[in-house]
Amino acid sequence: MDKLRVFIAVPIPAEIRRGLAGLEKRLMAAGADIKWVSEENLHITLKFLGYVEPDRMDAICRAVESAAEGTAAFEAALSGVGAFPKVSRPSVVWAGTSAGGEELKALAEKVEGALESIGFAREDRPFSAHITIGRVKSPKNRDALREMIERLREEDMGSFSVESVAVMRSDLRPTGPMYTAIANHKLQIPD
């Protein structure tokens, strides 16, 4: 059986995704060569596992469930646009967090620990809470993109309650990736 391309993510509510899609449209005015993330695929990645044997999925789901257990739901607020590795030389355009970043980092660390216990290597880079909204394909109109990102550095994109963690499957297609939730694990909702 073919391996599955898997990642662990925090789902984002539809109204926030709509707002981010509107932000993408504004950034498109720069005329840069960017592959934009489709509205339905917007999420916060906690860990990318890559290609995984299907018989490991039960263990992965149990590990993520154990990371979610005992973690209280929390509020996250999205604010500001930026780029990796840096705005002057962007390869990834992202929306950042202005609240909930520490909680997302703690959740990502719990996911890392749970998955490490079943044989997945830890990430080399420190966790940075963000939503990838586009991937830069070439330097075309890079300066216009940089100026647009600078103007949107403080842009408020709303807030939402982080209430679950999902184990996601990514199927790569010519039209772009299609993401499917394999499992969705609820965080604890305070009384």
Within a domain: 90:
yes
CA distance 65 to 123: 19
Within a domain: 120:
yes
Of 110, 130, 142, 185, the catalytic one is 130
Within a domain: 50:
yes
pLDDT per position as a tens digit, 146-182: 999 999 999 999 999 999 999 999 999 988 899 999 9
CATH number at residue 44: 3.90.1140.10
Within a domain: 83:
yes
Residue 185 falls in the annotated catalytic set: no
CA distance 191 to 172: 40
Within a domain: 36:
yes
**What pLDDT was estimated at residue 97?**
94
**What pLDDT was estimated at residue 191?**
65
**What pLDDT was estimated at residue 175?**
85
pLDDT per position as a tens digit, 91-130: 999 999 999 999 999 999 999 999 999 999 999 889 999 9
Distant-in-sequence, close-in-space partners of 165: CB < 8 Å, separation ≥ 6: 8, 9, 10, 46, 64, 67, 68, 107, 111, 184, 185, 187
Of 43, 110, 142, 146, the catalytic one is 43
**What pLDDT was estimated at residue 1?**
66
Tokens of 51: 């290609």
Within a domain: 20:
yes
Residue 114: give the domain boundaries.
4-186
**What pLDDT was estimated at residue 110?**
97
Within a domain: 191:
no
Paired strand residues for 5: 51
**What pLDDT was estimated at residue 70?**
84
CA distance 181 to 51: 16
Within a domain: 103:
yes
pLDDT (mean) for 53-76: 96
C-alpha angle 77-98-146 in degrees, rounded to nearest 5: 110
Residue 140's closest CA among 48, 30, 54, 41? 30
Give me the chain's average pLDDT, please.
95
Residue 130 falls in the annotated catalytic set: yes
Domains: count for the chain: 1
pLDDT per position as a tens digit, 2-11: 999 999 999 9
pTM for the whole structure? 0.93
pLDDT (mean) for 62-85: 95
